[in-house]
Amino acid sequence: MSRSLYWFFIALISFAVLATGCINRTEEGSKQEAYFDQVRAESSYPLTNYCFSKDKRDALIENAQSVLNQSRLTMGNAIYRFRYSHPRVIKQGKSQVKVLLFLLENTQNSNDQLALLLPVNPDERSVCRLFSRQQAKEYQYQCTKADFIEQGESLYLHAAFLPEASDRYEHSPWTMDLLIQDKRRIMQLGSVQYSMQVFQDMTANIGMRNPFSAFPKAFCPNGLILGSTSFIELSQTIEWLTRQGFDIQWLVFGESLLGSIGEGLNMYSGLMIRDRGISTRLKVDRRIASGGTHLFISGKRRMIELKHPNEDIARSRRVGVHSWQGQGRQSKSMLSARLLPLRHEAHSEQATFYQRMLGDIGRSFYLFTLKAAAPNEMHYVNREEASLNRLITDFVSPNTL
């Protein structure tokens, strides 16, 4: 072999080695870049590793039951226990006043029910209003700031019946004694009552109703709130129907469900609905928002009744979402979702729930809710947004079940 041909082969082999090395390094670089692209993409989503567990759920239930067992209202010889609660804003003179609405039940007679309105921020002119369903009468009590005694989380009120009202009612109770063991948790009872509809083919539906519907308008909210008793009663209803051998088909939203208090148990309600394979249906002219939307999307099928086929669901405000703010689980400081880094653990509970309900789109939907509206505002989704996020599986005309 000539010397020139020898060096030609050496150069060719060297070039091949170098070229191969360049290709390998290029492939390795591409893989690394793809990996870092994935890491960057993941960092723009919240974690979905929250652990919903029986122990956590049972602890929430135990706390709620403890407050219910230790809180009561005494009027004369009768003792009443708390069943439902609902925050309201009512007109008092020329002012709008924040109040808490409670439904209480006689421990000896479940038909003897009271609706009680308590001021959230009592002053020297505040009045407590109480309506007895059994007597069909309203009573008013002095309820000033000085009448409330607070000890830690507990609240005690000894209220005297207003003398100027005594001529209107015979045999009026002159005093009312109210003991609330934990004022924060007693506000989280919620105002949803459940009903059952069973059929001869051993299928059943669960409905919702307003427990205050038999009371005057001033004591009856327009739209309901989910809370701790909502989970407890829903769980009991499902368990009873299952023991009787019924196949539960639908959870029917026959009332507008405008939010939730104590979000943890509401998500456990949603998990229970999904695990049981129950579908959800929003009746015509009814709305859902915030925690109500969380419960609705837990259905296996998610159906909305329309007034007419072309109904604009955003304009009629059928499905509302927004961001959240609330007290941290590990501290008493208030957290605002929009101000927290996306990888903050406070995001993971709702993000995990959405992923369980909606699949891979769940994390994107959670980000959508954060951007859609502030915690004190509401965004009502249109059909395109509902479709992109898989919120609704069917639009139907009323009464097609």
Domain boundaries, given as residue ranges, for the chain: 69-183, 193-396
Count Cβ atoms below 10 Å from residue 5 Cβ, excluding itself.
9
What is the per-residue pLDDT for 39? 40
What are the tens digits of pLDDT across the range 306-363? Answer: 999 999 999 999 999 999 987 665 555 678 899 999 999 999 999 999 999 999 999 9
Mean predicted confidence (pLDDT) in 352-376: 96
Residue among 169, 123, 113, 171 at smallest CA distance from 146: 123
What is the per-residue pLDDT for 38? 47
What is the per-residue pLDDT for 8? 45
Of residues 319 and 184, the one with the higher pLDDT is 319
Q: At 97, is the pLDDT very low, low, confident or very high (cuts 50, 70, 90)? A: confident
Largest CA distance in the chain: 130
What is the per-residue pLDDT for 27? 58
CA distance 353 to 273: 12
Burial 138-170 (b: 16+ CB within 10 A, else e): bbbbbbeeebbeeeeeebebebebeeeeeeeee
Mean predicted confidence (pLDDT) in 140-147: 86
Q: Which two tokens stand for residue 227?
A: 């809370």
What are the tens digits of pLDDT across the range 225-276? Answer: 999 999 999 999 999 999 999 999 999 999 999 999 875 799 999 999 999 9
Work out the mean pLDDT of the chain and round it to a whole number.
86
CA distance 271 to 273: 5
Q: Tell how strand 154-160 and strand 175-180 pair up.
A: antiparallel
Cβ-contact 122, 148 below 8 angstroms = yes
Work out the percent of the chain whose per-residue pLDDT is above 90.
66
CA atoms within 13 A on the CB side of 37: 6
Q: Please state the pTM of the whole predicted model.
A: 0.85
CA distance 265 to 216: 30
pLDDT value at 14 more than 90: no
CA distance 334 to 348: 17
Q: Is 302 helix (H, G, I), strand (E, B) or coil?
A: strand
**What's the CATH number of domain 193-396, 3.40.50.10310, 3.90.226.10, 3.40.50.720, 3.40.50.300?**
3.90.226.10
Q: Which of 22-26, 94-98, 212-216 has the lowest mean pLDDT?
A: 22-26
Measured torsion, CA atoms of residues 241, 243, 247, 251, in degrees rounded to the nearest 10: 30
Cβ-contact 370, 360 below 8 angstroms = no
DSSP tag of 41: H
Count Cβ atoms below 10 Å from residue 9 Cβ, excluding itself.
10
What is the per-residue pLDDT for 15? 43
